[in-house]
Structure 1
């Protein structure tokens, strides 16, 4: 049995942050991962996805400008694009291990399983510590349908050597929408099957409707209230069975992608032996990100039941956990608004309250919703669908929500984040003199109907 001051399970943004800060403070630290070291974002999520999105953006921009000065549209060479993506992802595990070695972290590769409230087994090794941090991330949630093994997940999609001509995405969230845009721009016929009444439920409905129009315009077929019940292999095709309006429908395709949400990756941890409680959203933690049932255990990142599953939040939570372990519980998780982007083409960016949420909270807000395809920032690249919605508190003149669809929205949303975080009034934000012509210079028009 090896003893450490701290054991961290998971090597993504949250786990690395905790481990590094504890080691820099002189603590002995073990870090464990069953997957290649470096976490999801850098290898199987945000970073490689955005590389593929970059290619889709090139195709989209050229398509929009055809007959407007551009004479031909490029095509995506999928194998070459994947090879380029690998230049980002392939070095990550070795680089991460070298980083751990340089820091003096002891790393273990394998499945971690609790054997007691403060000890774990990894293969043939047993380790124990005063504090254990669970930062194991999330995994695709089980669908519980016949033929589930015929689906690939987001990791599989990002490793496809060739892109099939027909693809079905099961789910209507970030992953389905982002991958649908990449695949469609690369020439595939894509269908999204979503069991809900509308996709991207956490985003503003009016702005999402604009995005749906943009998707349908490039040939992505979105089927709502479609509950997938089975997937079958038929010769060289897959048959997807789903229920809609009381009827059973079938759809033939070449590939089915699981994009129906993720759950905390804790199934193999044997948390019952550690006395750690888990809920639907993950490990149950208090405001200090400490397990509510085992004070020796903390959890942060996607595996914990606080916050959104976003990389910046994972790092933020990791800093909180590290500080609380090193200095006693003093830092608490603050559920401040965090910007998030669906990297479709064009992207959809959001922060703060939706109009629906503001109404549910009884907030008195001024709501401004507008399509902006006739604005210069959209017309100069012939972007055929763009728009925004902003919400400003009537009493305080504070921005409480911003939702933007269009090129540049993924950067523009950061200005709204700054305003919300530092309580810059909508008037002061709109009065700022920003570089022109830029997407930022549109900001004043998003805050006033004048």
Structure 2
């Protein structure tokens, strides 16, 4: 039986962030992958999503600037050509990721890992042991358990659509629904979003979510709130979505109700590992109830956002912990999150909901930036920023942005929060003008 210092189960961002530096530290490392090497993000997640978003952004800019002098016909998206362009990014990922590991002296094992006991796994009929295991198997789309659920497609299917259906429906009001709805609508599909209550994107500021909904509605996206879908039926090449007092005929329906951790194949009980709702339990060193086994990435049951940079951050922390460079607990900084819709919605730090609930300590300032040069030159219909400051120190502790540049602006706010930069320090800095960075002086 071959033995390793570390076996990493999952070759996504967390796994890769660990494998290379562990190997460089002269550890004997193996990486196990049952699907695509490189993980969800570069193969069918955030990276190709951003490629497709570029077309939506271009269409939005043309639409906005047509009103002020850009002379062109409405910009149209050729979905099949756009998908072919996307594939130039995704097709090489899995092969190159596996080759990169192998070329660094890391053993690659293809197949699903299963624990045989607390210190042994099996992959494709062969058993292996390690001093430490790191589970980084990520998560997959959740599918609502309703009649006809076999007709649901998921985010993986959407990211691989060869042609855009005439009518497209998304069930669930999370970030994927808003992102994919913007794309489908921009590509010319009749687009619907079904949400079981009236609060989509519940983790974000309600007022700005409402404004995002209004902007998408103005572009043609149809939202159906307070609809609890009960069944999907077929009618020829169409699907009929049924709920009390609701019926919708569509060509494709996608589940966008969140994600669930990939734990089933691992047989964690055999390894003495406890699983909680939302993932695997761990302590503040990312160690599970089996002291040999650690976790990183979306598999963890935690409050921090389940994002690629967070997974990489956890992977880097584990490298330092396992090689003895630190014994400290993992310490997460403020983490930005972004909904890549049309426009974008982003937030970081203390939310407006938390600030409103603790008004003794926090102050909220809402700033309509629609007429600021940064956004007015693009003729954006809406641009709003909300900031949260600590009343005692005056420091920025939270921010939410709704505009076409929100994904970039939120990173400036993240840096100011994590570095505890005062308003006075910001005011004394000089930035390239006019840019989103040069606007920072006017926020707090």
RMSD across aligned positions (CA): 1.5
1:444 corresponds to: 441
1:318 corresponds to: 315
1:285 to 277, 282, 292: 282
CA distance in 2: counterparts of 1:226 and 1:315, whole angstroms = 37
Q: Does 1:8 align with 2:5?
A: no
2:291 corresponds to: 295
Q: Does 1:434 align with 2:435?
A: no
Matching of residues 24-423 of structure 1 within 5 Å: 24-71=24-71, 72-242=73-243, 247-291=244-288, 293-306=289-302, 307-327=304-324, 330-361=327-358, 363-423=360-420
CA distance in 1: counterparts of 2:233 and 2:185, whole angstroms = 24
Distance 1:427 1:104, change over 3 A: same
5+ residue gaps, structure 1: none
Asked if 2 retains the 8 angstrom alpha-carbon contact of 1:153 and 1:258, the reply is yes
Give the total of aligned pairs.
442
Q: How many angstroms does 1:373 deviate by?
A: 2.1
Asked if 1 retains the 8 angstrom alpha-carbon contact of 2:143 and 2:255, the reply is no
Asked if 2 retains the 8 angstrom alpha-carbon contact of 1:210 and 1:386, the reply is no
Asked if 1 retains the 8 angstrom alpha-carbon contact of 2:143 and 2:152, the reply is no
CA distance in 1: counterparts of 2:43 and 2:225, whole angstroms = 31
Q: So what's the TM-score if we normalise by structure 2?
A: 0.96
Asked if 2 retains the 8 angstrom alpha-carbon contact of 1:207 and 1:389, the reply is no
Q: How many angstroms does 1:432 deviate by?
A: 3.1
Q: How many angstroms does 1:329 deviate by?
A: 6.6
Asked if 1 retains the 8 angstrom alpha-carbon contact of 2:169 and 2:191, the reply is yes
Q: How many angstroms does 1:430 deviate by?
A: 4.3
Q: How many angstroms does 1:364 deviate by?
A: 2.2
Asked if 2 retains the 8 angstrom alpha-carbon contact of 1:392 and 1:426, the reply is no
Dislocated runs of 4+, deviation >4 Å: none
CA distance in 1: counterparts of 2:35 and 2:245, whole angstroms = 38
Q: How many angstroms does 1:280 deviate by?
A: 1.1
5+ residue gaps, structure 2: none
Distance 1:430 1:281, change over 3 A: farther
